[in-house]
């Protein structure tokens, strides 16, 4: 993990992935010349690596199994396991890769859009598993910019009973980390980079542009 920028409150401890493969793929993702297909593929690959870190603390239990040679005690996930929650629409770019790694996970969706004048999150859709309170929840969105959308989504997950929550994003801004820390200090952030900050339009800089537009080929 890398040290945090001085502008990030020290009470926050996001996990910043500094693995060479992560940083290589992230650099390619940032490039303006990367095609829609390439951006989608790189996001999927990065989501696998982020999921590995986000699930590090999942509980396991011993199980007796039979290998081709003998019986042994292995370990498997215990309890209700996972729920991935995508903040629409761009969160689906991360969700797809995580489901490759954990195909049995339940899936929830929270539909939010950012008001371009106030930069506040407005909800238009929400659907979560009924037993979300019994699952470890991983909320995904490519960007943690102002933090308003992420905080609003986690507000709703907690209101539905979610307790053990991790937030996963490709990029974060110090402002978004501070916002998350102020509202949900119990939520761990897993990200590939904490960038310099936000521009006058609320976009992360240097960033990678609008993740949703780049994932789906829209403008």
Tell me if 51 is assigned to some domain. Answer: yes
65-82, pLDDT tens digit by residue?
Answer: 999 999 999 999 887 789
Tell me if 28 is assigned to some domain. Answer: yes
Q: In which domain, by residue range, is 121 found?
A: 18-56+82-205
Average pLDDT, the chain: 90
Provide mean pLDDT across the span 57-71: 94
Q: Please tell me whether 38 is known to bind a ligand.
A: no
167-203, pLDDT tens digit by residue?
Answer: 999 999 999 999 999 999 999 999 999 999 999 988 9
Domain total in the chain = 1
* Strand partners for 191: 16, 169
Tell me if 76 is assigned to some domain. Answer: no
pLDDT score, position 12: 43
| Catalytic residue positions, numbered | 114, 118, 210, 213
Distance CA 142, CA 103 (A): 20
Calculate the dihedral angle through the C-alpha atoms of 43, 163, 15, 11, rounding to the nearest 10 degrees: 140
Q: Are the C-beta atoms of 183 and 151 separated by less than 8 Å?
A: yes
Q: Please tell me whether 55 is known to bind a ligand.
A: no
Tell me if 6 is assigned to some domain. Answer: no
CATH code of 201's domain = 3.40.50.2020
Q: Please tell me whether 143 is known to bind a ligand.
A: yes
Which contiguous run of DSSP H or E holds residue 153? helix 148-159
What is the distance of C-alpha 205 from the center of its chain? 19
Which contiguous run of DSSP H or E holds residue 77? strand 71-77
pTM of the predicted model as reported, rounded to 2 decimal places: 0.89
């Amino acid at each position: 993990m890398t040290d945090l920028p001085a502008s990030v409150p020290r009470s926050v401890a996001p996990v910043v992935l500094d693995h060479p493969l992560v940083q290589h793929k992230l650099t390619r993702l940032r490039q303006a010349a990367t095609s829609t297909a390439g951006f989608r593929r790189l996001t999927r690959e990065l989501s696998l690596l982020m999921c590995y870190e986000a699930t590090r603390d999942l509980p396991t239990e011993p199980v007796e199994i039979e290998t081709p040679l003998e019986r042994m005690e292995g370990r498997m996930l215990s309890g209700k396991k996972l729920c991935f929650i995508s903040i629409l629409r761009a969160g689906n770019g991360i969700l797809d890769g995580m489901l490759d790694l954990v195909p049995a996970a339940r899936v929830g969706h929270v539909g939010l859009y950012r008001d371009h004048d106030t930069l506040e999150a407005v909800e238009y859709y929400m659907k979560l598993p009924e037993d979300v309170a019994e699952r470890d929840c991983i909320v995904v969105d490519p960007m943690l910019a102002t933090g308003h959308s992420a905080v609003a989504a986690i507000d709703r997950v907690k209101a539905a009973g979610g307790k053990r929550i991790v937030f996963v994003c490709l990029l974060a801004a110090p402002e978004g980390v501070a916002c998350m820390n102020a509202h949900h200090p119990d939520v761990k952030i897993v990200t590939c980079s904490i960038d310099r900050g936000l521009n006058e339009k609320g976009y992360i800089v240097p960033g990678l542009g609008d993740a949703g537009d780049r994932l789906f080929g829209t403008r």
